[in-house]
């Protein structure tokens, strides 16, 4: 029922946007944006690392978004965005008696109002559901390859001459409010104080200093507070230089350290390191890049009374440790095989080429190890090869095909089956 209500409201909203306002004698203040993304995927051996057992799968995930951007006065704007994501067959197109058999549901992905030049010509405030993206998206990203990440709260931004400062407060989860007694978020019977202690508050600040052309230095601090259960602070810094328009060295180095309480009885001491270094050179309209890369997240020691594993925040993990997304920067780095929770150390070398602004080709080699073996016979998680090709059909439409193959190591296979794991996908995306 909620899906049909959302669709009805969305259709009504679009109709109102398209129809010229009767009372207003000015241009329509709305712009429509959206995305249609469809991907075909083939995975093999990801469940058991064994060729003798049939566990290959083919599926077709999609994501469809439509957004309305409204400008109501010089400094007031709004963004309303709905999305539906799922996979072919999971949201059945067949109907029985005029009723849809199954559905993934339409959700409000973003809905916010922005006030520019509020109190100061350099300050803006955005309130509502929104994406929060910063730096190289290690801790704050949009996860747009999958179904996205949005936050409920407020974000303030100061844009100065060479420094941008972003501060935020959001509520990732709230367990204090219920609908007991049929109350619609009004007393009595609404507030579940002292019940499940899962309410979370997320707040912090992120500053970016552009001190040279194409070079930035970031510092940040953030706090994820789950009330009595945990209260984790993450502080870090990043120094980056990247360009595809000229020859020269490129780099990105970031360190994030965690403090606070993982539980009331144990301290959080996780750490993540991300770094890559490479060289660009141009040949006509083509750009070539070779690089080396390090991705590392600490793992918890089984003998420690504190928690030394890295706790990920809300970053974008796609292609962070390879295009197959076999591993994540966290204490529990993978769900493949029987690998213990011991963090991750990933090393890579690769090549990326951009040809005539329309074609991209790349290849990379990855080596994965546990950061902490916790008594395991080996730290070796395996090796992987990525090969991909992208094509910009037009300004708004692009295609990409990618093949990743992982050869499991002893730490991943547990001494059992260790046949190679494959992920092949082809994707089409339209944005407007």
pLDDT of amino acid 52: 73
pLDDT of amino acid 402: 98
* pTM exceeding the 0.85 threshold for the entire prediction: yes
- Show the tokens assigned to 56: 């290959």
Q: How far is Cα 171 from Cα 82, in angstroms, rounded to an integer?
A: 20
Burial class (CB in 10 A: 0-12, 13-18, 19+), 78: middle
pLDDT of amino acid 109: 96
Q: In degrees rounded to 5, what are phi and psi of residue 18?
A: -75, -35
At which residue do the structure tokens 């199954």 appear?
102
pLDDT of amino acid 226: 87
How many other CB atoms sit within 10 Å of the CB of residue 119?
Answer: 9
Q: How far is Cα 316 from Cα 146, in angstroms, rounded to an integer?
A: 10
In the chain, the domains with their CATH numbers are 2-431 (2.40.160.100)
pLDDT of amino acid 303: 77
Q: How far is Cα 348 from Cα 278, in angstroms, rounded to an integer?
A: 11
Identify the sign of the CA torsion 128, 130, 136, 138. positive
pLDDT of amino acid 299: 92
If residue 16 lies in a helix (H) or strand (E), which one and from where to where? helix 2-18
Burial class (CB in 10 A: 0-12, 13-18, 19+), 371: buried
The three-state secondary structure class of 2 is helix
Q: Please list the rounded mean pLDDT of every run of 10 residues in the chain (432 residues).
A: 44 44 52 96 84 82 95 91 89 52 73 92 96 97 95 96 95 75 54 62 96 91 89 97 89 97 92 97 93 96 87 95 94 77 94 94 97 84 97 96 94 78 96 94
């Amino acid at each position: 029922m909620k899906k049909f209500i959302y669709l009805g409201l969305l259709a009504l909203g679009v109709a109102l946007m398209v129809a010229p306002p009767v009372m207003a004698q000015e241009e329509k203040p709305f712009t429509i944006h959206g995305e249609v993304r469809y991907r075909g995927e083939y995975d093999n051996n990801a469940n058991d690392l064994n060729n003798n057992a049939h566990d290959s799968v083919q599926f077709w995930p999609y994501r469809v978004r439509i957004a309305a951007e409204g400008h109501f006065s010089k400094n007031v704007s709004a963004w309303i965005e709905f999305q539906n994501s799922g996979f072919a067959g999971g949201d059945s197109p067949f109907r029985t008696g005029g009723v849809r058999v199954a559905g993934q549901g339409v959700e409000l992905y973003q809905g916010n109002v922005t006030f520019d030049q509020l109190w100061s010509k350099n300050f803006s405030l955005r309130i509502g559901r929104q994406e929060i993206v910063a730096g190289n998206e290690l801790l704050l990203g949009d996860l747009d390859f999958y179904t996205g990440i949005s936050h409920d709260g407020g974000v303030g931004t100061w844009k100065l001459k060479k420094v941008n400062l972003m501060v935020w407060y959001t509520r990732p989860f709230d367990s204090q409010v219920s609908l007991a007694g049929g109350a619609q978020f009004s007393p009595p019977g609404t507030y579940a104080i002292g019940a499940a202690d899962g309410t979370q508050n997320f707040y912090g600040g992120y500053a970016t200093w552009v001190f040279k052309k194409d070079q930035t230095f970031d510092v940040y601090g953030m706090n994820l507070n789950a009330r009595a259960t945990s209260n984790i602070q993450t502080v870090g810094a990043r120094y980056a230089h990247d360009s595809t328009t000229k020859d020269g060295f490129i780099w990105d180095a970031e360190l994030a350290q965690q403090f606070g309480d993982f539980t009331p009885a144990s301290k959080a001491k996780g750490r993540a390191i991300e770094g890559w270094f490479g060289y660009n050179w141009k040949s006509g309209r083509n750009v070539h890049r070779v690089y080396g890369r390090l991705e590392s997240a600490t793992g918890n020691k089984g003998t420690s009374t504190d928690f030394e594993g890295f706790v990920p925040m809300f970053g974008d993990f796609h292609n962070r440790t390879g295009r197959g997304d076999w591993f994540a920067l966290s204490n529990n780095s993978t769900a493949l095989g029987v690998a213990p929770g011991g963090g991750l150390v990933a090393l890579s070398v690769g090549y990326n080429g951009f040809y005539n602004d329309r074609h991209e080709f790349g290849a990379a080699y990855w080596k994965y190890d546990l950061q902490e073996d916790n008594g395991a016979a080996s730290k070796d998680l395996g090796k992987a090869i990525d090969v991909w090709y992208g094509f910009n059909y037009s300004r708004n439409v692009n295609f990409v095909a990618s093949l990743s193959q992982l050869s499991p190591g002893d730490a991943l296979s547990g001494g059992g089956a260790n046949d190679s794991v494959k992920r092949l996908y082809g994707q089409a995306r339209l944005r407007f």
